[in-house]
């Protein structure tokens, strides 16, 4: 079977879905692997590094894709216009990458119309068996890490406590909202930098995880369960939202840095920090809104920009994994390899809709959108 790996064309994107390490391993599994010329350069992987392990470099991406049984990408494939990657794929072929179908409904629709079987690695169930395939967790680790570094660079004071000849400098106080993968990594990174950590999450079961990486848990008693399963949170009731808002206002007013990572279902960002909360924060404080890709947790965030309001710096960076393209590509490619390895038999990929991982991640198949949430969202969009 042939695998084609396309170059990423999204503005600012520097990752690639294949690195030489995983190219070599896929070839050992029995696949023929081709890569669009220059696809790995922004991540630090030259065409020569790929050819050295047996990957073919293709200068005609359309022909490469049309001959492929499987197509790898980091982002959703493009469709329409001069570079119609979906049209390049042949009907019956398989797409594998971070599709984010609820954010890319038209891409999902186009893939279904083309009769491509599209697996979204961001929809892989969060189970022990699937951990090595979960690109969402791999990339969220980077988001949590890099987000704290950006906040530390903007903060007009030290993160750690320091003893100097001029006297002691107390540590910065950091409040992390949301304790899934990005939030826990943010806590761990800020802890390594010497900050005093506090964190909250609407899922009380993560209290032990928060404390295990060095933060003090703060939270409210919920009137109903806020866990959506699989490590995700669901939207709170109106009463719980009001009580949570009081908690957030109190905590934000007391700290130097606020890191927000909250997403509903891992996709969309609830608005948790209003303009009134920002106004009450200390001058010089920093908010790092790491949920900007999902719309942002702060009312005053401008996704992709840094703004200063009421003396508070608000960061809302987009696509942070692309700012660390070497390791982001390495981890992403390893996730794809783990997926392929799990479902390869006799040197070929085996579709198995009875498998819980394939069933959960398969968005389109045989001309249909089979992923329930994507199908419902498309129906609403059509209405």
- Is 227 a residue of the active site? no
Catalytic-role residue among 117, 137, 251, 285: 137
- Is 28 a residue of the active site? no
**CATH architecture for residues 2-133+325-382:** 3-Layer(aba) Sandwich (3.40)
pLDDT in the model for residue 229: 52
Catalytic-role residue among 90, 192, 232, 302: 232
Range(s) of the chain covered by CATH 3.40.50.720? 2-133+325-382, 140-318
Catalytic-role residue among 134, 201, 289, 293: 134
Q: Is the pLDDT of residue 272 over 60?
A: yes
Residues 18-66: pLDDT tens digits? 999 999 999 999 999 999 999 999 999 999 999 999 999 999 999 999 9
Q: What is the DSSP string of 2-59?
A: EEEEPPP-STT----S--HHHHHHHHHHT-EEEEETTTTGGGT--HHHHHTTTPEEES
Give Cα 217 to chain centroid, integer Å. 24
Residues 124-148: pLDDT tens digits? 998 999 999 999 999 999 999 999 9
Residues 87-115: pLDDT tens digits? 999 999 999 999 999 999 999 999 999 99
pLDDT in the model for residue 232: 54
- Is 341 a residue of the active site? no
Phi/psi for 252 (5° steps) reads -65, -35
CA distance 247 to 218: 8
Catalytic-role residue among 126, 245, 302, 370: 126
Q: What is the CATH number of domain 140-318?
A: 3.40.50.720
- Is 117 a residue of the active site? no
**92 near 115, Cβ under 8 Å?**
yes
Q: Is the pLDDT of residue 383 over 70?
A: no
> Cβ atoms within 10 A of the Cβ of 166, count?
7
DSSP one-letter code for 320 = G
């Amino acid at each position: 079977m042939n695998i084609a790996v396309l170059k990423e064309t999204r503005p600012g994107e520097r990752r690639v879905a294949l690195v030489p390490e995983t190219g070599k391993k896929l070839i050992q599994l029995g696949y023929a692997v081709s890569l669009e010329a220059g696809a790995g350069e922004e991540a630090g992987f030259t065409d020569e590094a790929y050819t050295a392990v047996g990957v073919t470099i293709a200068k005609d991406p359309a022909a490469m894709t049309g001959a492929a049984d499987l197509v790898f990408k980091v982002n959703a494939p493009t469709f329409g216009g001069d570079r119609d990657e979906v049209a390049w794929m042949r009907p019956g072929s398989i797409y594998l990458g971070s599709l984010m179908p609820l954010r890319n409904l038209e891409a999902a629709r186009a893939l279904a119309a083309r009769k491509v079987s599209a697996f979204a690695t961001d929809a892989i169930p969060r189970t022990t068996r699937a951990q090595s395939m979960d690109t969402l967790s791999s990339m969220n680790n980077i988001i949590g890490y890099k987000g704290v570094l950006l906040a530390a660079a903007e903060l007009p004071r030290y993160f750690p406590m320091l003893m100097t000849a001029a006297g002691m400098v107390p540590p910065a106080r950091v409040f992390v909202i949301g304790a899934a993968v990005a939030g826990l990594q943010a806590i761990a990174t800020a802890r390594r930098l010497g900050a005093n950590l506090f964190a909250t999450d609407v899922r009380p079961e993560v209290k032990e995880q928060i404390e295990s990486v060095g933060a003090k848990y703060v939270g409210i008693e919920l009137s109903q369960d806020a866990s959506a399963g699989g490590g995700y949170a669901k939207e709170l009731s109106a009463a719980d939202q009001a009580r949570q808002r009081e908690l957030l206002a109190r905590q934000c007013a007391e700290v130097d840095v606020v890191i927000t990572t909250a997403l509903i279902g891992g996709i969309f960002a609830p608005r948790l920090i209003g303009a009134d909360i920002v106004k009450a924060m200390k001058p010089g404080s920093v908010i790092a809104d790491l949920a900007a890709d999902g719309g942002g947790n702060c009312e005053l965030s401008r996704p992709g920009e840094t703004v200063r309001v009421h003396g508070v710096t608000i960061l809302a960076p987009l696509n942070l994994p692309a700012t660390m393209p070497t390791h982001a590509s390495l981890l992403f490619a390893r996730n794809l390899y783990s997926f392929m390895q799990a479902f390869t038999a006799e040197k070929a990929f085996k579709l198995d809709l009875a498998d819980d991982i394939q069933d959960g991640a398969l968005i389109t198949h045989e001309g249909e959108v089979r992923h329930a949430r994507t199908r419902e969202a498309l129906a609403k969009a059509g209405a």
